[in-house]
Chains A and B, each alone.
Chain A
Amino acid sequence: MDGSAADGSAADGARLPPPRAGSRLCVRCGERKAALKRPKTLEQICRECFYIVFEDEIHQTIVENSLFKAGERVAIGASGGKDSTVLAYVLSELNRRHNYGLDLFLLSVDEGITGYRDDSLETVKRNEIQYGLPLKIVSYKDLYGWTMDDIVKAIGLKNNCTFCGVFRRQALDRGAALLKADKIVTGHNADDIAETVLLNILRGDIARLSRCTLITTGEDGPIPRCKPFKYTYEKEIVMYAYFKKLDYFSTECIYSPNAYRGFAREFIKDLERMRPRAILDIIKSGENFRISTTTRMPEQGTCGRCGYISSQKLCKACVLLDGLNRGLPKLGIGRTKAGAGADSDGKQRAKRTERNTLSLQGKHGNFDF
């Protein structure tokens, strides 16, 4: 077939108009009309073939990296956003299709952000029913005694993502522990990881740089986390959700003023438009950086107060909570531990150590979790 039915206008006029929607055939099956151009391969494929390759690639990633073992309980970090919604859908599909033998759960964190999280939690509650996955919600209020709304009232809009990031990471771990989960999976996609690689380079954060491309992290901690979407493009995740009519929530966190990260994201998207491979190449660059032996990695211990993993006496969440509860909310943020001096080495080091204890994956807004 030539698809000319949809091409009525092509006949008149000397200049051949650009090909109309539906006038090209899928390069994979050669039968159906192509529906999208894959950013990873630039192939034009139809909807049905897209579902197959999209799901198969994730399955391959799971198998090649031995992400799961049969019988494991896996908590899916579910925010109601596109990435975790597609992850929940695809993972339950693959679990059935390939007999992974996993017990899957949805795990959501309620930060207590009026008009943002309460709406997105409604989405997760619908997903619970749609995908038949049990849902556990843990709240900042229950865990820490503070909602994000309370915290923002106390500290203002600056730095609130520090709180959110640190608290969310712990909240996920605690929720996963309540579910007796063996693993947490998050919806971080290839674009997210490329962005994080860039940010870590821009910050000179070598320790993070080497960790941020790992598909599984925290194997030495209480509950390992993995990213089955490590090689999955955001464009394809959104296309998949659109074609499958998956129910997701898409509003920015009202408290996410992280301009620096936003800038890195914009840059990644600009690069992608010029050369879509750039995203995978940045990840590859990140993977190929090796830590020199002179870079000291922080030692892992546990928090003296709550028992959470920490390289300091108190974990970051407990330091932040201390500040909040004592009316000194700036405690634990930025340079409080460093001397008041200018750009001395000491300050640089202090800042770096502190950043190491912060969660890489906990930034609000651009990231699922």
Chain B
Amino acid sequence: MHLTLEFGGGLELLLENSTKVHKVEVPPKDGQATVTMRGLLTWVKDSLIKERPEMFVKGDSVRPGVLVLINDCDWELCGGLDAELEEKDVVVFISTLHGG
């Protein structure tokens, strides 16, 4: 599944070259037709995050204080971890935890 992932608020620092926007191909889990947010988080943690994964995930979700938007909509309105993604969705992760 083709997805566009965006990292902001300092989360980009956990990625290679601090790149903010990643166009990625995420495979559904074995035997499943779609990718859920839960599956995406695991994939991001395993495939994209280069350092300090604890800044991004906590337990099976994002670290509290990391905002998630699916197609510019708060993921809390879309089912959170159970939200099912669709082809060409844009998922944005923003940390609120970096001060200024």
Task: Give me the interface of A with B, judged by CB distance under 8 Å.
Answer: 8-9, 17-22, 24, 33-37, 44, 79-85, 120, 187, 191, 234-235, 237-239, 242-243, 248-253, 256, 265-266, 269-270, 272-273, 364-368
Contacts and interface: CB of A to CB of B under 8 A. Distances in A.
B96 A251 contact: no
Given A17-B82, A234-B65, 6 more contacts: A21-B72, A22-B73, A81-B99, A242-B8, A243-B72, A266-B65
A34 B99 contact: no
Interface string B27-44: 000000010000000000
A38 B82 CA distance: 20
B98 A9 contact: no
A267 B7 CA distance: 23
A251 B89 CA distance: 27
B53 interface: no
Interface residues of B, number: 33
Contact of B95 (A9, A250, A368): A250
A44 B77 contact: yes
B79 A18 contact: yes
B100 A82 contact: yes
Nearest to B76: A37
A24, A242, A368 — most chain B CB neighbours (10 Å) = A242
A251 B13 CA distance: 8
Closest 9 CB pairs of A and B: A81-B100, A18-B79, A269-B64, A21-B73, A36-B74, A79-B100, A269-B65, A250-B10, A37-B76
B77 A34 contact: yes
Nearest to B61: A273
A265 B55 CA distance: 13
B94 A22 contact: no
B10 A252 contact: yes
A234 B64 CA distance: 12
Contacts of B92: 242
Contacts of B83: 18, 20-21
A18 B78 contact: yes
Contacts of B80: 18
A250 B98 contact: yes
Contacts of A120: 100
A272 B99 contact: no
B99 A368 contact: yes
Contacts of B64: 266, 269-270, 272-273
A85 B100 CA distance: 10
A19 B79 contact: yes
Contacts of A81: 98-100
18 contacts: A8-B86, A9-B84, A17-B84, A18-B82, A19-B79, A20-B78, A20-B83, A24-B77, A37-B74, A82-B9, A82-B100, A85-B100, A187-B100, A238-B9, A238-B96, A269-B63, A269-B65, A368-B99
B50 to A, nearest CB: 16
